[in-house]
Structure 1
Amino acid sequence: MPKAPSQARELIDGIDTSGAYPVEYRFTHAKGGNRHLVVVFANFGVTDDYGWSNGVLNPVRANILWIRDRFNGMRSYYLCEGMDFSLEQSVIGVISRVMNALDLTPDRVTLWGGSKGGSAALYFGMRYGFGNIVSIVPQFLIGTYLKTVHPKTARFMLGEGAPEQNVRALDAIIPDLVRSGVARQANIYLLSSPQDEQYTEQVEPFIGLFQGYDNFNFIYSESPYITKHSEVTRRNVPFLMGLVNMLADGLPPRLGTVRNGYEEPDRDTSAIAAYLSETSRNKPSALSLPVVTHPVPDSELPTDGVYFTGIAPGAVRVSLWEHGKFLGSPSVAADGTWSWKLSKPWSKGKHQVKVVAWDAAGGHTKGVLVPFTTVAGAAAAAGTAVPAQPTARFDAAPTGGRLPAPAVQTPGAYEQVPTAVVRFTGLAQGAAQVGFRAGGTLLGGSPVAVDGRWAWDSGWPWQEGRHTVEVFAVDAAGNESPATLVPFAVAHTTAGATPYGY
């Protein structure tokens, strides 16, 4: 008897590095040419940070984009690090690029998530004007929830000590959006339950804010089989699968004339294929595998004595990962050498880091695995310093030298730049070069003139919204100065433009 065909769908993993934060994603194409996109945000309970990726969404006919909530190794509600919302801009940039590559409009997109992911779906869906929002047991008071339940995530998002003003600011972002009246035409489906221990504080006080929203639907799930937060979702999976397929087919459950089906199986898919190819982790490259000269495989190192050096001829950068977690991406010098060091001590125990080399076209090699073990104890300074490279290195760890932080003249702190092209200028006395980072990612560098002046233009249009860039100086010996933080905002929406065309 022949086997039944597999119900599994091909999953394509990728990483989009075009924003301030690298964004990891997973994608699967629609069935039968369906013309819809479902964007899935993860909850706290997902070990690999791709929510709803265990096959439960296989029956959904739409294109599906999962976005991983792991930035610098931490969860973030897809919003911010230390109240720097350039993380949010990186996430919406990926959603917009996938939507545009599929030639869809915002009304053909559903934002979907539960708990933490439900808050993200509600925020991104309303803030950026998407047509459909499915928010399952969300938290409305994000700051308060983090401070009381997830203090580690609170430190990452709110800053050290989780200042009360930052707690209040994060508490306000979703309620203020609803009060503002944005997205009144969106199809919003909010699911909660009185059996959810978070309901009384996190959901019930805010239901009334949706009065006047034309297509707001509150699914009140009450059952003796629901005893806690996570069970609200489990008890409603069949209903939710039916809901998302109705949305994918252009049949939101509401009164009025709607179009059924909306499928184009023969539609040109070259644009989304190109995007997936450009950002895929499986893109081939003619580069040779990178060579790691330190650490030696299976070596034993003190927790504060781990650094990486190596050779990657022809590469422009290497990236380092541990168990799928992005660690860093140092640039490669003209002679092929590179080095990198984590800014904090490693945890004790066994580690296995993967090193991948990247070429200028975005192609990359397979990963080279470097296993090592870390033990407690301080390392001798001479044994742990990252060796100096023959040229000034932007990826080198700070050395504690006396080189002062560079002065930045433009853009001014908290300036709103009315153009997509942002030009940085300033002074860096005694430096050979200045470098620019955002979210741990190296953006570029500029030589310093004899009189200390420098100028840099990234060469790409900046996404609309808030950004924070670290500007640091490097002397001829490779010593790096402290960084100067430059917070600014870009506002370049023109007539006829939308916030989706990043």
Structure 2
Amino acid sequence: MGLVEIIKSKEDVHKAGRDLKYLFCEKKGSDKLIVTFPGFNTETGAFRYRYVRTLKDVNAHRLFLLDEFGTRGCYLLGENRNFSVETAVMSLINTIVKKYDIKIENVIMQGSSKGGWMALYFGIKYRFGHVIAGGPQTKMGDFLIHDVEIVPGEEIHFFSKVKVADYIAGGHEKEDIKYLDSLLFNLIYDSPENFPNIYIHVGKGDFHFERHITPFTQELDKNHIKYQLNIENYVEHNDLEFFYPAYLLKTLKSIDKRLI
């Protein structure tokens, strides 16, 4: 079955204050759930699911989320500092966890780039078992407002990224950037206990390494939080699509050999 057919047959809408589109692929007999978050789209409105093909043979229940809020998504949080979309996401996950009697430590959050931020955020905030993140943007405000200036070819998307900041934070001034950057980092400072197992992948030349991952892992180190960092020999952020799928499957196998 091709991706288009999978979407047509399995796409559904979870209604919990906000309408949340998703794909759910059941795996009978499994006690694991993999939640996949979408990445940033290159064109406004081109919302799509990620890693459906990569995970098609994995021995786990698989939930794929879509972020089609605003012009380019809202990191599945909400609008104007309202977390209504996040509430809908957690309602859906909790519904599946309860239905299939899945323990919280057997839930794996994963995604790359923008999806990596969401995997870290939801995984840490709600203390799921594992987080696998490829080239994540940890400083959301910095990424949406500043990073466009140093990414070749991304200049045309500057205003669409600013609109994402406006949608989530209500603006893109200094205080809004600080607010967006704090969303993930405050989770470390507020409660450093009982963290999920964190696995981070990045290319050594990817600007995310220096600007986003290093500051994040430094804070993890300060709080004595364990993590695994995988650094591969590539320089372009877009090369995640070639390197991350293999890392994802390898990491899933390290978590539980029965998954692969």
Do the structures match in fold with TM over 0.5? yes
- Partner in structure 2 of residue 265 of structure 1: none
1:182: how far off? 3.4
- Partner in structure 1 of residue 154 of structure 2: none
- Partner in structure 2 of residue 28 of structure 1: 25
- Partner in structure 2 of residue 40 of structure 1: 36
Q: Quote the Cα distance in structure 2 between the aligned partners of 1:86 and 1:107.
A: 25
- Partner in structure 1 of residue 189 of structure 2: 179
Matches of residues 112-151 of structure 1 in structure 2 within 5 Å? 112-148=110-146, 149=148, 150-151=161-162
More helix by share: 2
Q: Quote the Cα distance in structure 2 between the aligned partners of 1:74 and 1:21.
A: 16
Provide Cα deviations, 1:301-355, integer angstroms capped at 9, x if missing partner: xxxxxxxxxxxxxxxxxxxxxxxxxxxxxxxxxxxxxxxxxxxxxxxxxxxxxxx
The count of corresponding residues between Structure 1 and Structure 2 is 238
Q: Quote the Cα distance in structure 2 between the aligned partners of 1:183 and 1:190.
A: 19
- Partner in structure 2 of residue 213 of structure 1: 225
- Partner in structure 2 of residue 92 of structure 1: 90
1:198: how far off? 2.4
With over 3 angstroms needed to count, the CA separation of the structure-2 counterparts of 1:155 and 1:7, relative to structure 1, is closer
Q: Quick check: 1:82–1:156 contact (8 Å CA) kept in 2?
A: yes
1:75 pairs with one of 58, 65, 73: 73
1:217: how far off? 1.0
Q: SS state of the match for residue 18, structure 2?
A: coil
Q: Quick check: 2:201–2:244 contact (8 Å CA) kept in 1?
A: no
1:238: how far off? 2.0
With over 3 angstroms needed to count, the CA separation of the structure-2 counterparts of 1:87 and 1:239, relative to structure 1, is closer
Q: Quick check: 1:26–1:67 contact (8 Å CA) kept in 2?
A: yes
Q: Quote the Cα distance in structure 2 between the aligned partners of 1:128 and 1:185.
A: 9
Q: Quick check: 1:133–1:187 contact (8 Å CA) kept in 2?
A: yes
- Partner in structure 2 of residue 241 of structure 1: 249
1:234: how far off? 1.5
More strand by share: 1
Q: Quote the Cα distance in structure 2 between the aligned partners of 1:135 and 1:242.
A: 13
Q: Quick check: 2:110–2:133 contact (8 Å CA) kept in 1?
A: yes
Q: SS state of the match for residue 50, structure 1?
A: coil
| Higher RCO (CA 8 Å, separation ≥ 6 residues) | 2
Give the CA RMSD over aligned residues.
Answer: 2.3
- Partner in structure 2 of residue 154 of structure 1: 165
Provide Cα deviations, 1:153-194, integer angstroms capped at 9, x if missing partner: 1222122x4232222111012112123343544211011222
Q: Quick check: 1:83–1:166 contact (8 Å CA) kept in 2?
A: no
Q: Quote the Cα distance in structure 1 between the aligned partners of 2:252 and 2:2.
A: 18
Q: Quick check: 1:129–1:183 contact (8 Å CA) kept in 2?
A: no
- Partner in structure 1 of residue 237 of structure 2: 229
Q: Which amino acid aligns with 2:21?
A: E
- Partner in structure 1 of residue 48 of structure 2: 49
Q: Quote the Cα distance in structure 1 between the aligned partners of 2:167 and 2:219.
A: 29
With over 3 angstroms needed to count, the CA separation of the structure-2 counterparts of 1:227 and 1:241, relative to structure 1, is same
Matches of residues 245-324 of structure 1 in structure 2 within 5 Å? 245-247=253-255, 249=256, 261=258
With over 3 angstroms needed to count, the CA separation of the structure-2 counterparts of 1:24 and 1:202, relative to structure 1, is same
In structure 1, stretches of 5+ residues that fail to align are 1-5, 252-260, 263-502
- Partner in structure 2 of residue 103 of structure 1: 101
Identical residues among aligned pairs (%): 24
Q: Quote the Cα distance in structure 1 between the aligned partners of 2:87 and 2:32.
A: 22
- Partner in structure 1 of residue 10 of structure 2: 12
Q: SS state of the match for residue 176, structure 1?
A: helix
1:106: how far off? 0.8
- Partner in structure 2 of residue 496 of structure 1: none
- Partner in structure 2 of residue 196 of structure 1: 206
Q: Quote the Cα distance in structure 2 between the aligned partners of 1:52 and 1:26.
A: 12
Shift >4 Å, 4+ stretches: 6-11
Q: Quote the Cα distance in structure 2 between the aligned partners of 1:183 and 1:240.
A: 25
1:125: how far off? 0.2
With over 3 angstroms needed to count, the CA separation of the structure-2 counterparts of 1:81 and 1:39, relative to structure 1, is same
Q: Quick check: 2:12–2:21 contact (8 Å CA) kept in 1?
A: yes
Q: Which amino acid aligns with 1:26?
A: L
Greater C-alpha radius of gyration: 1
1:82: how far off? 1.5
In structure 2, stretches of 5+ residues that fail to align are 149-160
Q: Quick check: 1:184–1:213 contact (8 Å CA) kept in 2?
A: no
Q: Quote the Cα distance in structure 1 between the aligned partners of 2:65 and 2:77.
A: 13
Normalising by structure 2, report the TM-score: 0.83
Q: Quote the Cα distance in structure 2 between the aligned partners of 1:219 and 1:181.
A: 25
Q: Which amino acid aligns with 1:33?
A: G
Normalising by structure 1, report the TM-score: 0.45
